[in-house]
């Protein structure tokens, strides 16, 4: 096996890193037009030196269905351990990942989702009723407030208003992490200064609050009557079989913080884009409103799915080879990093005809083929919160569309990369009008 990398642009690594981070879709699109479906990008730390980019459905299938022992996902996101912790389901591999996933999955199964819906509906109604009809709302900020409220109440199960008031601003600071903190965290001596010191203090405060919540729940005699995610996680695991031991306090903390980071900004961005696209397409907005009134969750979920396809909240999924392997006919050596490009897969007209068009109906027609729609990843690493996210999206769209009509105040917004998430550049500013006006 030669281990030769596919072709790469000759741009300086610094420039490639900036473009890969800040102009991800445009940069990868240009390389795909030049090199084809498989190519390499060369980057600076904290990224690996080289990443091999794949986007054809058959290549993506190879990656998602490969033996998890050969392609580690946790290794590709180790820099996030500083926040999520060593036990995070996103950062572990092998038996530890399989055990965590087995214990987490029941909290996101269909029956569990039905138990969360009523509380999500109450939160969405309360949040949306605070909007000012006849004004221009910054929808991204509103969605961030809403999704953070969902996480603190439905996921963490923090019902006490005083404790929520302590926890919420700290969670907001963590989710808005600065690139300076990510880059500087690997040097412990820097944590005594400036933004790194403040971030370390915030993490310590969050840990104290979460561990107190977990301890209080363990001591609660009626824990099985609670329906939030934390209550379900505390109840799982018998210990009778190897690998089913209940989650420890440290494991619970790490999984809760992972659910926060994976489900806050991404869901807020997806909902902002969905509402932005509905405002830009009045006919689709009217159909979505009829669906909301009729209780048609399938169409509302199709709107969210199309927003995730059309605007690509996250642009890539990565894996790291643990042994020499051939993918898509390319021989790669152990340690190589591969990326399944969500951006290129979603923009490819062979996968999605007229990809520039926002058309939710494509998800109701059975025309979206496997391994061409990737916002939740795939294979054994598919996001366990996918069903929760789609349920939450349908609930929020119903709350908005049955109260307000949406319109753009000007031209449609472009996206910008914040952290690793594609968000509306101007915050998804929309004119909100009450339906009875």
Which tens digits make up the pLDDT trace of 339-374?
A: 999 999 999 999 999 999 999 999 999 889 999 999
Residues 6+ apart with CB under 8 A from 50: 5, 8, 40, 41, 42, 43, 336, 337
**Mean per-residue pLDDT for 199-221?**
88
Q: What percent of the chain has pLDDT over 70?
A: 96
Sketch out the chain's domains with CATH numbers.
13-434 (1.10.630.10)
Write down the pLDDT at residue 48. 84
- For 322-437, strand residue ranges (E) read 325-327, 330-332, 337-341, 404-407, 415-418, 421-424, 429-434
CA angle at 266 for the pair 32 and 79, rounded to the nearest 5°: 75
**In angstroms, rounded to a whole number, what is the distance separating the alpha carbons of residues 182 and 172?**
16
Nearest by Cα to 288 from 358, 375, 357:
358
**Mean per-residue pLDDT for 193-221?**
88
Q: How is residue 376 annotated by DSSP?
A: T
**Mean per-residue pLDDT for 135-161?**
92
Write down the pLDDT at residue 76. 72
Using an 8 Å Cβ cutoff, are 123 and 154 in contact?
yes
Return the bridge partners of 331, or none.
326
227 backbone dihedrals φ, ψ, rounded to 5°: -120, 10
Using an 8 Å Cβ cutoff, are 382 and 67 in contact?
no
Write down the pLDDT at residue 243. 65
**Mean per-residue pLDDT for 239-262?**
84
**Mean per-residue pLDDT for 170-187?**
78
Q: Residue positions in the annotated binding site?
A: 383
**How big is the chain by its Cα radius of gyration, in Å?**
22
Question: What's the pTM?
Answer: 0.92
Q: Residue positions in the annotated binding site for heme?
A: 383
Comparing 414 with 81, which gets the higher pLDDT? 414
Write down the pLDDT at residue 3. 59
Q: How confident is the model at residue 2 (pLDDT cuts 50, 70, 90)?
A: low
- In sign, the C-alpha dihedral spanning 225, 227, 233, 238 is positive
Q: How confident is the model at residue 1 (pLDDT cuts 50, 70, 90)?
A: very low
The strand pair at 337-341 and 50-54 is best described as parallel
């Amino acid at each position: 096996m030669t281990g030769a990398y596919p072709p790469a642009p000759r741009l300086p690594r610094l420039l490639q890193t900036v473009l890969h981070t800040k102009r991800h879709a445009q940069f990868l699109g240009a390389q795909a037009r030049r090199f084809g479906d498989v190519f390499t990008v060369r980057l600076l730390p904290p990224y690996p030196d080289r990443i091999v980019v794949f986007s054809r459905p058959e290549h993506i299938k190879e990656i998602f269905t490969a033996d998890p022992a050969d392609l580690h996902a946790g290794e590709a996101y180790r820099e996030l351990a500083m926040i999520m912790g060593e036990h995070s389901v996103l950062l572990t591999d092998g038996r530890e990942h399989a055990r965590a996933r087995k214990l987490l999955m029941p909290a996101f199964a269909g029956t569990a989702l039905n138990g969360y819906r009523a509380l999500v509906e109450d939160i969405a109604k309360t949040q949306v009723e605070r909007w000012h009809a006849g004004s221009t709302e910054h929808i991204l900020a509103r969605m961030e407030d809403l999704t953070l409220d969902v996480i603190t109440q439905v996921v963490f199960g923090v019902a006490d208003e005083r404790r929520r008031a302590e926890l919420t601003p700290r969670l907001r600071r963590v989710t808005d992490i600065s690139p300076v903190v990510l880059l500087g965290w690997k040097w412990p001596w820097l944590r005594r200064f400036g933004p790194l010191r403040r971030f370390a203090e915030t993490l310590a405060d969050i840990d104290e609050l979460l561990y107190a919540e977990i301890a209080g729940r363990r001591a609660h005699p009626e824990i099985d009557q609670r329906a939030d995610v934390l209550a379900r996680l505390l109840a799982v695991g018998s210990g009778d079989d190897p690998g089913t031991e209940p989650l420890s306090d440290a494991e619970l903390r790490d999984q809760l913080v992972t659910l926060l980071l994976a489900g806050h900004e991404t869901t807020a961005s997806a909902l902002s884009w969905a509402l932005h696209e509905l405002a830009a397409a009045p006919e689709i907005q009217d159909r979505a409103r009829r669906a909301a009134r009729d209780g048609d969750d399938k169409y509302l979920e199709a709107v969210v799915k199309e927003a995730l396809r059309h605007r690509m909240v996250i642009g890539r999924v990565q894996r790291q080879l643990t042994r020499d392997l051939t993918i898509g006919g390319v021989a790669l050596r152990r340690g190589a990093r591969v990326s399944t490009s969500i951006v290129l897969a979603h923009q490819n007209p062979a996968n999605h005809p007229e990809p520039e068009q926002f058309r939710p109906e494509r998800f109701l027609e059975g025309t979206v083929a496997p391994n061409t729609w990737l916002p939740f990843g795939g294979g054994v690493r598919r996001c366990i919160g996918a069903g929760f996210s789609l349920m939450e999206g349908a609930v929020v769209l119903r709350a908005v569309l049955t109260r307000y009509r949406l319109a753009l105040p000007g031209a449609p917004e472009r996206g910008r990369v914040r952290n690793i998430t594609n968000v509306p550049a101007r915050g998804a500013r929309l004119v909100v009008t009450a339906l009875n006006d």
